[in-house]
Amino acid sequence: MIRHCVFLNFKDDVTENDKQQLYGQLAALKDIIPGQVADHYGPSASPEGMEHGFTDGFIMDFKDTEARDAYLVHPEHQKAGAALVAACRDGANGILVFDLEI
């Protein structure tokens, strides 16, 4: 299983409603792209204060690397990813991706 962790540094003018729409776009991919088994979205709940500006994020679990790789190149993921990049501070530099094999 692959746990796809994505941390976001949204622009100041991105509202909570905007975030929910972006997360909804991503969640809808589960019905389109096979192999995504779980997803969770929201702000950091850590009391440590070590987010370094990455205050929001999401995690998606994929059944294997093939499912994750198919997700990454899927056109609907590309659209959702472009919307995330546009909403983050400094574009793609406002996004941190870290995948774990679990």
Identify whether 69 is part of a domain. Answer: no
The pLDDT assigned to 68 comes to 97
- Specify the pTM: 0.94
Find the CATH number of the domain harbouring 78. 3.30.70.100
* Number of domains forming the structure of the chain: 1
- For each successive 10 residues of the chain (102 residues), what is the average pLDDT? 98 97 94 94 96 96 97 96 98 98 96
- At residue 46, the pLDDT reads 96
Query: Could you tell me if residue 68 is inside a domain?
Result: no
Decide if 37 is inside a domain.
yes
**Residue range(s) defining the domain that contains residue 21:** 2-63+74-101
Query: What is the rounded distance in angstroms from the CA atom of residue 27 to the CA atom of residue 25?
Result: 6
- Kindly tell me the sign of the dihedral angle through the C-alpha atoms of 54, 60, 65, 66: negative
Q: What is the pLDDT of residue 88?
A: 98
